[in-house]
Homo-oligomer: A and B are copies of this chain.
């Protein structure tokens, strides 16, 4: 760990969130190497224009180094490797190159900033636990931020909201962390803080991921199927339909979490009520909770969502961009099937969004529907991704 010098950061995934946190980490004192794809030329030549209500305006901001592939990397070995689109296959070649740059075989921390539960596991198993480790550990991160990369990757726009929670994976909970890893993690938190981020370290990133997913799939999932802002499912005429469904979705998720050992300590059941209330307070309806027809709840203060607020997955859907279905929903479905937990609502949400996902990915690859016809479907209920398995096909 080159703690006396400028910490070295390799950032993979230079979209809106990636650019924002690269910028934050550089402000915090790090040296940034960014991996760019489509916008390599413009970023190399002119940098990126940062427009942020919270972090200010910075025209032509430059990472310290911009590369397209592992072999273009020059300089020191890395301390931290944040990745906003995690997969060990994407990261591995960079870590191999990194090893060749490190005289003392110092290994970096991988930082995965991405929605979804237990997304760290695959990366942890294959890059940290392998016979020849390429990283010293994995940090999971969740961000609450509205940031968009615009103008063909030449600028980002960001409002005021920015909150980041990071924690070591697997969660140390009460366990002691090796001092090297602990001090690297502390340094990372400090880098974000110095850069201005509203960062918070947690010793249970897995529990935090589960609470975030409760909102994303319930209020977020129903809103996305409705193709309307959250406020549309909060009306007097729609709440008699949406309220029970939102609760039902959260109960399914809680059942999956419990089946995988996330107990009351780590994800209290009352979280469901909190997630419900937090959004319910944005309704404009008069709420009657007693049998007295003339008695209503006081109108709620502290609305926390703009009237036209849409969850990011719906924004992706409307822009015909691949959604995070496999990362966010896929893991949940796998865990539900593995533990034999029935998830009829979750199944239906994924089944209803998957056709768009398939179409968007196909379009991005320049393929047509005909290219995908005649592919194989295994009509074996045990291979189904969703429950309610069919009997033998036609």
Contacts and interface: CB of A to CB of B under 8 A. Distances in A.
A222 B373 contact: no
B386 A355 contact: no
A287 interface: yes
A62 interface: no
A389 to B, nearest CB: 5
A348 B245 contact: yes
A239 to B, nearest CB: 5
A238 B358 contact: yes
A344 interface: yes
A197 B52 CA distance: 66
B377 A283 contact: yes
B351 A348 contact: no
Contact of A359 (B228, B369, B387): B228
Interface in A270-284: 273, 276-277, 280-281, 283-284
Nearest to A288: B378
Contacts of A359: 228, 232
A241 interface: yes
Given A226-B356, A377-B283, A372 B236 contact: yes
B383 A284 contact: no
Given A248-B344, A286-B376, A393 B280 contact: yes
Interface in A306-360: 344-345, 347-356, 358-359
A382 to B, nearest CB: 10
A176 interface: no
Contact of A238 (B354, B373, B394): B354
Contacts of A226: 351-356
A104 interface: no
A174 interface: no
A243 B277 contact: no
A383 B284 CA distance: 19
B351 A300 contact: no
Contacts of A55: none
A240 interface: yes
Contacts of A387: 244, 248
6 contacts: A226-B353, A226-B355, A237-B375, A242-B386, A243-B393, A245-B344
Given A227-B356, A242-B386, A276-B394, 15 more contacts: A222-B348, A232-B359, A239-B377, A239-B379, A240-B378, A244-B390, A245-B388, A248-B388, A251-B388, A277-B393, A280-B394, A285-B375, A286-B374, A287-B377, A345-B388
Interface of A: 222, 225-228, 232-233, 235-249, 251, 273, 276-277, 280-281, 283-289, 291, 296-297, 300, 344-345, 347-356, 358-359, 369, 372-381, 383-394
